[in-house]
């Protein structure tokens, strides 16, 4: 098959095509993202599979090996590859908070985090808050306080409250408002969400959901 004219004209003097160069750079970038600061983290081996890489994720206490493309977000991998659909797709640009998860106990937007960045971190999704079929304290509080209408934003709201309470077990009302300020509720159920957060704090201090 004749060579692509664009590919041919973009070859360097060493015979490396633009496409080949970009592929090489992308794999190198994945390794850099996964390792973070080389002076602070030991070297890791990332196995490349064509345009994909194999990564190891720790999700809800379980180890998962996944073959991903470097451009895939953690949100995409959680939902479409691992079936953890409690993490919702919203704006996909870090504005609505529907995809909120915990990374090492702190809230993060899964839509703004690459899956390769999640290596060596503990990821907690909505599913990880349950004990079998038993709701976690925050989930129970949201049910008791009727802290939802359409329910689409609810998983992200729950994860935001869970992250808040892990950092501050007994927050004030203003701290609760600030803690969920990164999560939008188009139904405007905020007053019930604030009450649910306070209720969840009480349940956690009592040792869990009723």
Give domain limits for the chain: 5-128, 130-206
Position 207 scores a pLDDT of: 81
- pLDDT band of 209, cuts 50, 70, 90: low
Model pLDDT, residue 208: 64
Q: Has residue 12 got a pLDDT over 50? A: no
Going by pLDDT thresholds of 50, 70 and 90, the confidence category of residue 173 is: very high
pLDDT at 133 over 80: yes
Rounded distance between C-alpha atoms, residue 116 and residue 76, angstroms: 12
- The pLDDT of residue 13: 39
Q: Residue 135: count other Cβ atoms within 10 Å of its Cβ.
A: 19
Angle at 13 between CA 47 and CA 48, to 5 degrees: 5
Average pLDDT on 2-25 reads 42
CA atoms of 175 and 164, how far apart (whole Å): 9
The structural architecture, per CATH, of the domain 5-128 is: Roll (3.10)
pLDDT digits (tens, 9 = 90+) for 145-171: 999 999 999 999 999 999 999 999 999
pLDDT at res. 53: 95
Is the pLDDT confidence value at 14 over 90? no
The confidence band for 43, taking pLDDT boundaries of 50, 70 and 90, is very low
What pLDDT was estimated at residue 35? 31
Indicate the range of 44-58, 74-88, 190-204 predicted with least confidence: 44-58
State residue 163's pLDDT score.
98
Q: Considering Cα of 36, then 37, then 40, then 43, what sign does the dihedral take?
A: positive
Whose CA is closest to 35, among 26, 45, 48? 45
pLDDT value of position 50: 66
* CATH number belonging to the domain at 130-206, selected among 3.40.109.10, 3.40.710.10, 1.10.10.10, 1.10.150.120: 1.10.150.120
Tokens 């490396």 correspond to what residue? Answer: 16
- What's the chain's length in residues? 210
Token couple for 200: 């969840």
pLDDT greater than 90 at residue 102: yes
């Amino acid at each position: 098959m004749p060579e692509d004219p664009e590919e041919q004209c973009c070859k360097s003097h060493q015979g490396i095509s633009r496409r080949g160069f970009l592929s090489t750079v992308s794999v190198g970038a994945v390794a850099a993202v996964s390792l973070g600061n080389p002076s602070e983290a030991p070297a890791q081996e990332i196995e490349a599979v064509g345009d994909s890489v194999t990564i190891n994720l720790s999700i809800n206490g379980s180890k998962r090996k996944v073959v991903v493309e470097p451009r895939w977000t953690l949100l995409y991998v959680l939902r479409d590859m691992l079936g953890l659909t409690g993490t919702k797709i919203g704006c996909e640009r870090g504005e609505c908070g529907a995809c909120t998860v915990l990374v090492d106990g702190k809230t993060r937007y899964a839509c703004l985090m690459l899956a390769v960045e999640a290596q060596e971190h503990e990821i907690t999704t909505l599913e990880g808050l349950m004990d079998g079929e038993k709701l976690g304290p925050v989930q129970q509080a949201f049910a008791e306080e009727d802290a939802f209408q359409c329910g689409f934003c609810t998983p992200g709201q729950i994860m935001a409250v869970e992250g808040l309470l892990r950092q501050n077990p007994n927050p004030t009302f203003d701290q609760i408002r600030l803690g969920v300020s990164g999560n939008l509720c188009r139904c405007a159920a905020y007053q019930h969400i604030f009450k649910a957060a306070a209720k969840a704090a009480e349940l956690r201090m009592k040792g869990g959901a009723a």
